[in-house]
C-alpha cells in the first residue's frame, strides 16, 4: 500500500488509460477523485474504486475551462481537505482528425491546444493550493511518444504533447520550493478505444518497430505512475518516462 493515506485526482479518469490509472492508484491505497467531462463514465469508475474499499468521488470537469477547474479543486478541498497526487491525463486523441499544415483549421488547432496544453496548466494552477496544504505533492503529466515521432498530418497532437514535456520540466523547477515534484509519462500505442480510428497497417508498423511486439495495455503504465507519485521516486523530478515496449530509445 505505497499510497495509503494519499488523495489523488485523475483527469480523464472515466475511460481508457485514465481508468487504468485511477484503479491502479486505488489498488495501491490512494483515495481517488475521477475527474472527467463524461458523467456516466466517470461515475462508473468511481463506483469501481469504491468496490476496492477506497474513498472515491466523481467530479465533472472541462479542463479547458478555468472556472470548471477551480470548481473541481473546490469540491476536492471540501471533501478531502487537500491533495497529494495529480495525474493530468485528459486530452484530445480519440477521433482527432488528421490534417496537413494547409488543411488544418484554426478551430481544430485551438481546441486541441485548449484541452491538451491549456488544460494541463489550468488544472495544476487550480490544485496547487491543495498540495501546499499537504506540504507538497506529486504531479504526473501525460505526454506521448508522438512528440518524438512527429508523424505528418498530426502536428496539432504532436505539438501539444511536446508542450506537455516543456510544462513538466519548467514546473519541476518552479514548484520545487513547494516540494511539488513534476514528472511525465510518454506512452506508446495502448489498446483502448482511442486506437479504433488508427489504420491497422499503421498500427502493425508501430508494433514491428518495438522491441516488445505487442500493443500496450493501461495496466502496463500503472507501475511507472505509482513509482512517480510514491516516495520511491522522492529524488526525481522533471523527467519523462517513456513506456512504449522499446519503440523509442532516447539517450
H or E stretch including 2?
A: none
Tens digit of each residue's pLDDT (9 = 90 or more) over 190-221: 988 877 777 788 888 888 999 999 999 999 99
Residue 188 and residue 206 in contact, taking contact as beta carbons nearer than 8 Å: yes
State pTM to two decimals.
0.96
Tens digit of each residue's pLDDT (9 = 90 or more) over 42-97: 999 999 999 999 999 999 999 999 999 999 999 999 999 999 999 999 999 988 89
Domain regions of the chain by residue span: 7-243
CATH label, 7-243, candidates 3.40.50.300, 3.40.190.10, 3.40.50.720, 1.10.1740.10: 3.40.50.720
User: What percent of the chain has pLDDT above 70?
Assistant: 100
Asked whether residue 227 carries a pLDDT value surpassing 90, the answer given is: yes
Residue 193 and residue 14 in contact, taking contact as beta carbons nearer than 8 Å: no
H or E stretch including 100?
A: none
d(CA 21, CA 27): 10
Pick the range with the lowest mean pLDDT from 23-27, 80-84, 93-97, 223-227.
93-97
What does the pLDDT read at residue 250?
74
d(CA 74, CA 121): 17
What residues act catalytically? 157
Amino acid at each position: 500500500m505505497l499510497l495509503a493515506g494519499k488523495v489523488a485526482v485523475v483527469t480523464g479518469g472515466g475511460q481508457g488509460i485514465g481508468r487504468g490509472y485511477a484503479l491502479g492508484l486505488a489498488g495501491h491505497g490512494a483515495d481517488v477523485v475521477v475527474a472527467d467531462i463524461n458523467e456516466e463514465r466517470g461515475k462508473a469508475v468511481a463506483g469501481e474504486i469504491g468496490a476496492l474499499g477506497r474513498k472515491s468521488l466523481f467530479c465533472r470537469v472541462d479542463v479547458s475551462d478555468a472556472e470548471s477547474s477551480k470548481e473541481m479543486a473546490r469540491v476536492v478541498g471540501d471533501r478531502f481537505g487537500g491533495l497529494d497526487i495529480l495525474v493530468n491525463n485528459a486530452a484530445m486523441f480519440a477521433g482527432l482528425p488528421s490534417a496537413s499544415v494547409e488543411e488544418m483549421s484554426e478551430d481544430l488547432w485551438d481546441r486541441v491546444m485548449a484541452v491538451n496544453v491549456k488544460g494541463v496548466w489550468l488544472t495544476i494552477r487550480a490544485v496547487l493550493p491543495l498540495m501546499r496544504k499537504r506540504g507538497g505533492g506529486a504531479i504526473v503529466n501525460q505526454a506521448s511518444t508522438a512528440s518524438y515521432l512527429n508523424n505528418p498530418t498530426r502536428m496539432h497532437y504532436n505539438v501539444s504533447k511536446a508542450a506537455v514535456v516543456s510544462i513538466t520540466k519548467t514546473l519541476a523547477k518552479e514548484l520545487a520550493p513547494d516540494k511539488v515534484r513534476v514528472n511525465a509519462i510518454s506512452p506508446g500505442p495502448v489498446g483502448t478505444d482511442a486506437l479504433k480510428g488508427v489504420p491497422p497497417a499503421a498500427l502493425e508498423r508501430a508494433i514491428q518497430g518495438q522491441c516488445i511486439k505487442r500493443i500496450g495495455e493501461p495496466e502496463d503504465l500503472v507501475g511507472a505512475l505509482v513509482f512517480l507519485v510514491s516516495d520511491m521516486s522522492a529524488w526525481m523530478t522533471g523527467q519523462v518516462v517513456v513506456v512504449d515496449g522499446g519503440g523509442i530509445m532516447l539517450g
